[in-house]
Every structure is written in C-alpha cells, then in structure tokens.
Chains A and B, each alone.
Chain A
Amino acid sequence: MAPLEPYEKVQIDTDFLDEDEDVHGQVSCEKCHGGNPESNDYKTAHEGVVRDPTYPDPSKACGECHAMDDEGGHPGITGKNKTNPHVTLAPFKNKIYLRADSDPCVRDKIEDAMGTNCSACHSSCGQCHVSRPESVGGGFIDGHLFQKTPPVETNCTSCHGSRVGQEFHGENEGIPADVHHTEHEMACKACHTGDEMHGSGMSKEPFDRYEVANRAKCEDCHKMAGSEKTEADKQGKDLVHPDHAIHQGKVSCQVCHSMPYKNCYSCHVGKNELGAPYFETAPSKMDFKIGLRSKTTEDRPEKYVTVRHVPVSPGLFDFYVKDALTNMDKAPTWKFATPHNIQLKTPQNETCLACHGNNKLFLTKNDAESWEVKANEDVFVPLKPAPSVRHNWLEQPELHLKKVDCLICHNPALQSPIKDCQQCHAVDSILLTTAEKTPEYSLTNWSFTNKELVEKGNYVVGSNRIPALDVIGILLVLLTLVGCLIHGGLRFISRRRK
C-alpha cells in the first residue's frame, strides 16, 4: 500500500459537503469530533477534539442515526461494536491471557505491554469506513467521504496483508493467487459480509475468531451437486467430484484446495531507546501442514484442517516481564487456518496418494519446538503406516496402489472397502467400464478377454487371457494324456499277447 502525503491524510474533499455525495457532510464537525466552533482561538477551538470519535465507543458519534439497538431489542449496527472483534481484538487477547501466568501483577504488566504494542491493531467504525486504520498510519480513504464498503487495499489488506492479502493476490513467490481473485475478481466482501465483520448475532465476545457468527463458509457458494438450493444460496461451482462425498465433514476444504502459506514464528515486543514500541519476529516460512482440530462444531465438523503457526513464543513479553506466559501449554501454537490461496488443483489433491501417506503434509512432533510440543498435542496427526503397508494384505500392494484407482475399492457408495480380490480378478471384473461377455473359447480368438484393461496398460490376472492360447494349452495337455493312455494301452495289450 503506497503511503499518503500528509495533506492527503487530512484534506477533506469538498464533495463531502455535498448531500448527494455523503449525507454525513451535513453533520457539523463538532457534533462528532468535539471542539468549540464558536471560538476563534486555536487552542480553545480544539479543546476536546478527538481524531476518531468512533473508538472505543461509537454510540455518541454514530448512535444517533445508526441505532444502538434495533426494534427487537437486539444490537443495532452501533451496538454490535461491543462484540465486534475488529474493535475488541477479544480473540487475540483471549489467547494471550489463556497462556499468561495467573499472578495478577504479571497480568497487569502484560496488559500494559499489550496496550503499548499489540492493541494498536484494532479498528473502529471510522477506521474502516472513513480512514485507514491508525495502526497503518491512518489518513482519509477519500477526503473524509464515508465508504459503505471499505476498500480492500487501503483497509482490509493494510492489516490482513502479510498473510491473507499476499496469499489472495499471489504475492508469495511461486504460489498462484487465489482462484476467487484471478478468475472471479472477488473482493473480501464477496465472502466476508458486513454481519461477519461487525460480529452480528453475537451475545458476547467470541473467544476465537472462527466463532464469529455469520462467518464466511465455502459451502455458502459451493453446494454438493444435486443438493437443494435456497434462493439465498450464492452461485458457486457445484461440488461434482466424488471425492467431496468421501471427505465432506472430515476434511476442511483448504486441506485439498489451498497451497503453501505463510507461517510466523516467535514474536518479541519491547520499546526502543526513544520509548517507541517495536516487535521482532523470526523469519516466516512458507509451509503447508494438516493438523487435527480437537474442538469440532456442528457447522464445522472437519477433523483434518490446515494449521498455521502463530508468532507467539514464551519470551513474547520478556521486555516488560519475565516468565509472563507460563501456561504456553494451554493453547496450541499451530492454529486452525483458512489460507486464502485456493486452487482447484493442488499438489496434494492430484491423486489420493499425493495426500494419503504423504507424511510431510501432516503436522507431527517433529514440526514443533520442544517448548510447544505439549501445547500442540491435540493438533499433531498420529501418522499411519504407509499405504503400501496398510495394503500389505494384497499381493503386490505397490502395483495395486499404482495401477488401481483408489475409488474402485474405496467406493463411496459402499459401506466398507472392497476386499474380495475376485471382484477385480474375474471375467466380469469391476475394473471394466464396459460390459463384457463370457470369453469365447475358440482357436480364432487371439485377442485378450476384457481387452479394455490391457489397452489401459493393466494386465489383470484372472480377468485377461487369450482364449485361443487356453484352447491350445488344454489340448496340448489332453493330447499328451491321451497319447500316453493309448501308448500304455498298446503296451498292455502287447504284453498280454506275449
């Protein structure tokens, strides 16, 4: 995001005063920002002026027009401010306090540290709809004109830029942009509605940001093929691939459809010699890890999800207080994540075996520092033996895994996988896509039975044979036997005549 010139940050556009352009321009300045318009003195005129009258409490500046409560007594747009995670940063703070030492003195110092270093990353009504967030330098979006939908670049990705923004726009080297961006030019709002942004429908602050009501879900647009759709359903591509029926409810969409994403490690906050807050992190890593989600919910039941390392470390607040986070084990450092670099085809969904048995995709103890092993115990995926080992009841498991489509045996329409070899190794093999008749045994039939399989490069014993060779083989053995019997018979007769 390009920095603004100082005048750009504060200069009010004359259009703001045009009622047709922005009704807010009809409200006098002091009504929202305070100050004394009657005074001609600079100091007294600016007494009580606030730069952002919507933070922390927007009720005075916005509440008169934008109801605190609606007619049903539920929070209105302004009333939602109390549970709006963009304002409260509650999910972030909750995780810190979960890890914090129980000593009240330590907690006070953590609160100080967070107030200095972390809490600046909040937003407010004004810092989304009028100006850029203060944490990124502030400045009007467009000459104080109110924006119903905050622009992506100046407001959304100015905060959510280093991970989500870069993923979505394809700014990570070698990783393509999200297909929703490249193919459909969708902006954040296409999925993340105002209700989600404002924390609508929450009776209390969400503990975790994924607990926000009305949050975006892939299923809002992408329905299983053939499922009933309501008018509210948006128009995304139907889920026609049979893999969806197998994995739905078990594996999050991102596990199959996202690319490697940024993981952050270790953060230390402090103040420099001038008293200005700073933070330091270890270099981030592009990685892709599948972990377990221990707390599944009805609307998000998937157990296998993508997880991202968050930049927390035991020494986060060491500048302010030593041993502040003595309960690091209470929250995982590999967190459920929804990377924003969705692709239809990814390396891990190329084939079944690109994921199943590909142990490097799964989060294990080896991916964690010793201090975070316990914290992530519920996230680590217990590795299963390699597919060739799990299929070692088959003769030549490697060959079967290489040649046979997994879905032939692991047919989603069946309750359990097929384990009867003769389903495939038979005249009427289930590997066939075309109906075959019983082989015609004749000396003229020199083509393989079920030749569809052979033509695909798969010789299937018991299913493929050459009828003419079978006839010749049986005749050869029978004629030998008959020859021996005749010879033996003649010997017997000649001996009797002796």
Chain B
Amino acid sequence: MPEKLYLHPITERAWHWIHAILVIVLLLSGVQIHWPNSVNFFGSFPNAISTHNWAGILLVCDFFLWLLYNLISRRVSHYILRKEDIHPGMIVQAKFYAYDIFKNRPHPYAQAEDNKFNPLQKATYFSFMFFMMPLLLLSGILYLCPSCFSSLISFVGGLKVVATFHYIMAVIFAAFFVAHIYLATTGHTVFADFIAMVTGYADKEEH
C-alpha cells in the first residue's frame, strides 16, 4: 500500500470543481453567444446570455474566494516559483513531457504536501490565475455592465475592443482547459490526479 499524501484540502477541491463547472458553462454559452446562428446549447440566445452572465458573476466570486483563501492560508506558496524551479526545474520538467514520459521514467519532481506542483505547473497556474484570469474577468465585468463603466470602455477603445479582448482570453482559456485535462492524465496512472482531486489524497511516488 503506497504512502498517501494529503495534497488537496476540501476547500481547494470544492473550489476546483465549482471552478471547472463554471468554466465549462462559460465556454459553452460563450460559443453560442459568439456564433448564435450556428450553435444552440442553451435553447435560445437570451438563455445563453443569461447563463453566461450568471456563471460569470459566480466565477468572479469564486476567483476572489480562491485568492482570499490562498493568501490567508499562505497556500499561495504552492504557486510561487523558487529559483531552482526556474533553472533547471522548468527545463527538466519540459524534457520530461517531451521525452522522458515516453521512456516511462518517473516524474522529475515528486509531489509533496508543501510543494504539490511541478515547476511548469507553477509557472502556468501562476500566470493564468494571477494575470490571465483577472484580465478575463475584468473584461467580462466591463462587458457585463457597459453603462457602469462607459468612460473606461471608451478609454480602451470601445466595446468592440473589450469584446475582442474577452474573446481572445476565452480562446486561450479554452486551449488551456483542453491541455489541463490532458495533463491530468500524466500522473503515475491515468486517473491518479483525477482521483486525488476527488479524495484529496495522492500516492507518494518513489524517486
């Protein structure tokens, strides 16, 4: 019986799955809103708009709860790259995904309760959660209430700029979403990371 590590406390798991559901709903409704003549997931255009708006508002709340939780509990440290993570960590991890994984070699960085992400995960999650997500949410908030932020919207070039930026960010998140699900299969078994995100426990790997 392998040793278990408690990597994901219940608050993080709950946040993660709520976040996942909201992102899926937002992507699907966003696709319908962008191509209303070709796609109909939610029955009607107003339904898609309404769903997108409510899911967006919930995502904003969800994001701020996550931020607050991580700052207060100091678990934000999981996302901070250490010096050795940058060099040689990121290159080693990239080499693993590009080559070693096909040789069935073990992960170069074992998960630990105080350091659960590998260097590439840290870099990706940090940039997405601390830069991309706030920008996506900010553009969504401006888009949601253009009357309230009319001067700011005018300053950045109008609603067309906000909408285009929101679309670009959404596309990047959609691509990230695909890659994220795939990379979750690269644990020591295909489902190991999924199980860990449900139970909170991961098997301790030997290196």
Contact = CB atoms under 8 A, between A and B. Distances in A.
A476 interface: yes
Interface residues of B, number: 35
Interface in B140-170: 145-147, 158-160, 163-164, 167-168
A469 B164 contact: yes
Interface in B67-113: 97, 101-104
Given A396-B147, A477-B174, A488-B185, A426 B163 contact: no
Contacts of B44: 421
Contacts of B46: 393, 395, 421
Given A395-B46, A469-B164, A422 B175 contact: no
A468 to B, nearest CB: 11
Interface string A471-493: 01100110011011001101100
A460 to B, nearest CB: 9
A393 to B, nearest CB: 8
A494 interface: yes
A154 interface: no
A60 to B, nearest CB: 75
B185 A473 contact: no
A470 B163 CA distance: 13
A380 to B, nearest CB: 32
B168 A469 contact: yes
B53 interface: yes
Q: Chain A interface residue count: which class?
A: 35 or more
B171 A421 contact: no
Contacts of A488: 182, 185
A448 interface: yes
A402 B175 CA distance: 36
A465 B31 CA distance: 12
A493 to B, nearest CB: 8
A488 B184 CA distance: 11
A395 B53 contact: yes
Contacts of B168: 469, 473
B36 A425 contact: yes
Contact of B159 (A459, A465, A469, A491): A459
Contacts of A481: 178
A495 B104 CA distance: 7
A448 B104 CA distance: 48
Nearest to A402: B147
Given A469-B164, A469-B167, A461 B33 contact: yes
B1 interface: no
B37 interface: yes
A422 B158 CA distance: 22
A190 interface: no
Contacts of B6: none
B207 interface: no
B14 to A, nearest CB: 27
A462 interface: yes
Contact of A490 (B102, B158, B179): B102
A459 B158 contact: yes
14 contacts: A395-B46, A396-B145, A398-B147, A399-B147, A421-B44, A422-B45, A459-B158, A462-B33, A473-B171, A477-B171, A484-B178, A490-B102, A491-B186, A494-B102
Given A484-B179, A494-B102, 16 more contacts: A395-B49, A398-B147, A402-B147, A425-B45, A427-B37, A459-B160, A459-B163, A462-B34, A464-B160, A465-B34, A469-B164, A469-B168, A472-B171, A473-B167, A476-B175, A483-B179
Interface of B: 33-37, 44-46, 49-50, 53, 97, 101-104, 145-147, 158-160, 163-164, 167-168, 171-172, 174-175, 178-179, 182, 185-186
